[in-house]
A and B are shown apart, each in its own frame.
Chain A
Amino acid sequence: MTNQIQLPALKTAAPAPAPLAPAAPAPAAAAAVTFDVRQLNVWFGGNHVLRGVSLEIPPKAVTAIIGPSGCGKSTFLRALNRMHDLVPAARVEGRITLFGEDLYAPGVDATLVRRRVGMVFQKSNPFPTMTIAENATAGLRLNGLRQKDLLAERMERSLRMAALWDEVKDRLHANALSLSGGQQQRLCIARALAIEPEVLLMDEPASALDPLATARIEELILQLKQDYTIVIVTHNMQQAARISGQTAFLYLGELIEFDQTSRIFTNPRQKQTEDYVTGRFG
């Protein structure tokens, strides 16, 4: 009995005729890039929120998205797991591929995309009627895992990954809201990790937390990057500088600069980037 959850292909229907112009990328090339975003445009109603954003997100690393409020950071993040499908007024154009597979191709099931691309939100949102254990295993049970021992094992693993196990192992059946804000957020991370996504998207995960809890989350992220591709949106530049390898600077919906974090913060190429990171605006 395998312990791994087999990751599904993105299409459940019979494979559509390959419409992509370039031949399937060689495995080596595919592994070098997690997300390949090309000319991403997003509208909310008449509002053009993201304008022609293109970048490549490397695997097993932390990529930070920074920029002033309203620049489209969260919009960008949510395009990566097709959360905009849930908003009727949203329109997404452009191409986003995950390990070479086009996420927005016709016939691609958004639910499967979200299965592979996990997300943690700004305000922690554990399910309030469920216990800590039930929250942590929610995704697993959705996917049909029923055996108690397997569930317990996966739960312990994901809680350990989220650096929460030691704090909750004696009260797994307490209600999830009995945890502190920082613990709840780590529970949400554990919940996301339990279904073994390939990517973890984090939308300002520590902004609602106190400095101590924030520090713990940042530690956690540094550990997780060994196994996961992480894309994190943050308004806290110091945080981006601390934990990310690459940083993208967005302003008014456009990608101004995308480079190594060290470069962005010490010697940015664009003037706007420099103005932002030195605090001249934003």
Chain B
Amino acid sequence: MNAGAISVTTGPPAGTGLAPPGKAGDRAFRLLTWLMAMMVPALLGLVGWTLCKGSALSLQKFGWNFFLHSNWDPVNGDFGALWFIGCTFVSSLLGLLIALPLSLATAVYLTELAPGWVRQPAMSMIEMLAVIPSVVFGLWGIFVMVSWLQEGPYPLLVRYLGYLPFFRGPATGFCVLSGAVVIAIMILPIITSISREVLRAVPNSQREAAYALGATRWEVTRLAVLRYSRRGIFGAALLGLGRALGETMAVMMVVGNSDKISASLLAPGNTLASKIGNEYGETFQGINLSALFELGLMLLLVTVVTNILARLWIGAVGARQHSGI
């Protein structure tokens, strides 16, 4: 570009004794950045290894029994995670059950029905919901949500459905169901946002095909859009589930923190995450600490597996969509 520019191939004028500009610098830089990038998989390994090492004692002592019985007795050194596993799955799946239809309907509204100027602002508001810290939801849960649920819905549930073991009273408000509700609120943004992307990816030719058959708006959505997006929506649900399984603070603040087994959704409980959180401030060693790590290991595995499945599923769906199927 200008006279005197150093040629790339020959480097600086011969005889100056200088190496080609930056060769050593390049190598060092590349090595440094490579090291930093490798920290990510290293960190993943570190997390897994730390948890495994920490749970070794407990794994050895209890084996499979850890998952099959329910107890948390530091005094006598007996620990079993069954109740926590149960509460985790019940609250997460119930939360998903509440959130998925709401999110899907919202995604349909935002993609197919809403006037143009509404779409982005509404989506932005929903995405803002995702940045609210868990502890803030927990606080709102304690002082607003639980009181409200205790005043209206819960007594109704006890009165009309109390003959079922799932809704047997008394309802204190701080229970597994409250955990599920707060989880549902927190996973709404991610399911809505991914569902919306999935629905937007449906080619317009599909909608036109349905319209051309004399279909109403809902029928077009049902036939051409939702059916087409079935798989993507399932992936969105899986991602939401992954997020739900790991929720800690908000759940801890409304779930009741009880180790006592009960079939009722209105009775207090403890998820894997909230149980670990409950040990805040305790001192523990030996088998107690190891059991805690095993809870953490379980939580990690369950979340990681769900997330991997979700991403692989979405990846497969995306690839298939791009190939025109």
A contacts, CB < 8 Å to B: 81, 83, 86, 88, 111-112, 114-116, 118-119, 121, 123, 125-130, 138-139, 142-143, 177, 188, 191-192, 195
Contacts and interface: CB of A to CB of B under 8 A. Distances in A.
B216 interface: yes
Contact of B224 (A116, A127, A139): A127
Interface of B: 116, 203, 205-216, 219, 223-224, 227-228, 230, 325
A121 B208 contact: yes
A44 B250 CA distance: 51
B211 A125 contact: no
A129 B230 contact: yes
B211 A83 contact: yes
Contacts of B224: 127
Nearest to A194: B213
Given A119-B208, A126-B209, 15 more contacts: A81-B212, A83-B212, A88-B116, A111-B215, A114-B214, A115-B213, A118-B212, A121-B212, A123-B205, A125-B203, A127-B224, A142-B223, A191-B213, A195-B213, A195-B214
Contact of B211 (A114, A128, A177, A191): A114
Contacts of B230: 129
Contact of A125 (B209, B214, B215, B219): B209
Contacts of B203: 125
B93 to A, nearest CB: 26
Contacts of B228: 127-129
Contacts of B205: 121, 123, 125
A138 B214 CA distance: 11
Contacts of B212: 81, 83, 114, 118-119, 121, 192
Contacts of B219: 142
A86 B219 CA distance: 15
Contacts of B223: 127, 138, 142
Contact of B208 (A125, A130, A191): A125
A110 to B, nearest CB: 9
Contacts of B325: 128, 177
A111 B227 contact: no
Contacts of A111: 214-216
A11 to B, nearest CB: 15
A119 B219 CA distance: 17
Contacts of A142: 213-215, 219, 223
Contacts of A118: 212-213
Contact of A121 (B209, B214, B215): B209
Contacts of A188: 209
